[in-house]
């Protein structure tokens, strides 16, 4: 029997004591963990050591490459048009992928969007789309390629063959308090995106109370690391740092976010959702060499809506079907006349989660109709007794815990109080 080239305890101690892991150590550790030769408790110890001690750029690149090597790589070179993808680090009311993918497709660039499910207070794109009757998230690689050629956009789950090491490690990080480790966040995202094979990638790195990155400086570091990883792998990269102190739009949930996305595709919708959708679309198009097209025109002429309907139909869904509606609702009234001066994204996200829109464990079901609707955004005038929030759920016993989450999550200032909104796009990192 050939001895293993490394020992898990040796690797853990190296990082625990602040040392840099060698390429050989990283390759062996990731492969051995994927095969089951390294135990969960050993990998969780290493993940905690990485959280506390960090990794240099070479280590992060090696870790990312090892996770890519654990599975297959996709190839879109046979498509008749270029590709661009977008990844969000997660937020509250973040339904941007839904209008964005068909919008960019309507501009002539294919969008291979591999998305995930929600966990905790952040929503999942697949959960939202599964509220559409008949829509399916699982596609074969062949189905995905055919849909990209015929429709131009696909939003689906990543296949089991794509970076399986990341899938296993992500589940472990979630239950061991190591989700926030920047090297592991960066390599998790970029291993899947590089293996996916897209030619260009725009990152939406959320910053604020409702994001994993609460601090702008840490978010900027994460963005810079991911842009570097993608650039080194030959992917055209841009990252936008965007605000997540306030939730996006006017809804957080599943079916209600789909409905809001359709409003955007129809030429309406909340201003902030439209603004961010167009900003990301322009970055994706520029990265794919199609900055000659203005995505605002495609919203106005209806072609983005046509692409949305074609995308949903291609995956078995009925874009014209009625969306699920929660059986129970509860209205929270504004406590006083004045101006809504603060709406905390984390408070809203936790309330939606507790109403059934999200899950505590990956295997938990979600309610399609559950969520929170807010009837004003920061800067808007409100009147005492008029609806400020509407809470939606199929299980009314959830209302009390959702209401507790909203307590202290918003402020109403006296009428006439000056309000200075935070910019939606805080910074841009990447190509000139």
DSSP letter string over 17-57? TTPPPPHHHHHHHHHHHHHTSS-HHHHHHHHHHHHHH---H
Average pLDDT over residues 370-394: 97
Domains (range + CATH), the chain: 8-54 (1.20.970.10), 85-321 (3.40.1030.10), 328-413 (3.90.1170.30)
Share of the chain above pLDDT 70, in %: 97
pLDDT in the model for residue 1: 35
Rg from Cα positions in the chain? 22
Q: Which residue carries 């002539």 as its tokens?
A: 108
Distance from C-alpha of 417 to C-alpha of 75, rounded to nearest angstrom: 55
- pLDDT of residue 122 exceeding 80, the answer is no
308's CB contacts (< 8 A; 6+ apart) are: 98, 99, 102, 262, 265, 319
Name the DSSP letter for residue 396.
G
pLDDT at 120: 66
Q: Do residues 256 and 123 make contact, with C-beta atoms less than 8 angstroms apart?
A: no
* Least confident interval from 3-12, 229-238, 274-283, 306-315: 3-12
**Total count of residues recorded for the chain:** 432
Contact, 240 vs 423, CB < 8 A?
no
* Count of beta carbons in the 10 Å neighbourhood of residue 41: 10
Question: Would you please indicate which residues are annotated as catalytic (active-site) residues?
Answer: 87, 166, 173, 188, 192
**Residue 177: strand, helix, or coil:** coil
Q: What is the pLDDT of residues 136-173, one digit of tens each?
A: 999 999 999 999 999 999 999 887 788 899 888 988 88
The pLDDT mean for the chain works out to 93
pLDDT score recorded for residue 281: 98
pLDDT score of 225 more than 60: yes
- Write the DSSP assignment of 90-142 as a string of letters: --SS--THHHHHHHHHHTT-BEEEEE---BTTB--HHHHHTTSTT------HH
Mean pLDDT, range 416-426, rounded to an integer = 91
Residue 89 DSSP SS3: coil
């Amino acid at each position: 029997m050939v001895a293993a080239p490394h020992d898990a305890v040796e690797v853990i101690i190296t990082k625990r004591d602040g040392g840099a892991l060698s390429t050989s150590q990283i390759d062996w550790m990731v492969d051995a963990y994927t095969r089951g030769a390294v135990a969960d408790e050993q990998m969780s110890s290493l993940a905690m050591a990485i959280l506390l001690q960090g990794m240099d750029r070479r280590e992060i690149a090696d870790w990312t490459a090892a996770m890519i090597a654990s599975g297959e790589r996709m190839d879109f070179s046979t498509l008749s048009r270029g590709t661009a993808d977008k990844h969000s680090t997660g937020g509250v009311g973040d339904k941007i992928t839904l209008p964005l993918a068909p919008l960019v497709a309507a501009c002539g660039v294919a969008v291979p969007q591999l998305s995930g499910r929600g966990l905790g207070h952040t929503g999942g794109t697949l959960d939202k789309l599964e509220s559409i009757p008949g829509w399916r998230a699982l596609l074969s690689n062949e189905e995905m390629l055919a849909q990209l050629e015929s429709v131009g956009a696909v939003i689906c789950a990543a296949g089991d063959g794509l970076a399986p090491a990341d899938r296993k490690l992500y589940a472990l990080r979630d239950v061991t308090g190591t989700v926030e480790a920047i090297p592991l966040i960066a390599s998790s995202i970029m291993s899947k995106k590089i293996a996916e094979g897209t030619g260009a990638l725009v990152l939406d790195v959320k910053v604020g109370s409702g994001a994993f990155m609460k601090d702008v400086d840490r978010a900027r570091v994460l963005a810079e690391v991911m842009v570097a990883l993608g650039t080194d792998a030959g992917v055209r990269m841009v990252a936008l740092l965007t605000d997540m102190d306030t939730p996006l739009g006017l809804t957080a949930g599943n079916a209600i976010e789909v409905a809001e996305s359709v409003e955007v595709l129809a030429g309406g919708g909340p201003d902030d959702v439209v603004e961010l959708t167009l900003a990301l679309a322009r970055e994706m198009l520029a990265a794919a060499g199609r900055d000659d097209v203005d995505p605002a025109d495609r919203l106005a002429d209806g072609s983005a809506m046509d692409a949305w309907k074609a995308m949903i139909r291609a995956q078995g869904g009925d874009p014209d079907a009625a969306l699920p509606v929660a059986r129970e609702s509860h209205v929270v009234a504004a406590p006083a006349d004045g101006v809504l001066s603060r709406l905390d994204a984390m408070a809203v996200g936790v309330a939606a989660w507790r109403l059934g829109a999200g899950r505590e464990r990956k295997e938990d079901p979600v309610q399609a109709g559950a969520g929170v609707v807010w009837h004003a955004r920061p800067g808007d005038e409100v009147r005492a007794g008029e609806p400020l929030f509407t809470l939606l759920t199929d299980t009314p016993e959830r209302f009390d815990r959702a209401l507790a989450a909203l307590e202290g999550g918003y402020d109403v200032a006296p009428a006439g109080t000056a309000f200075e909104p935070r910019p939606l796009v805080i910074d841009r990192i990447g190509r000139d």
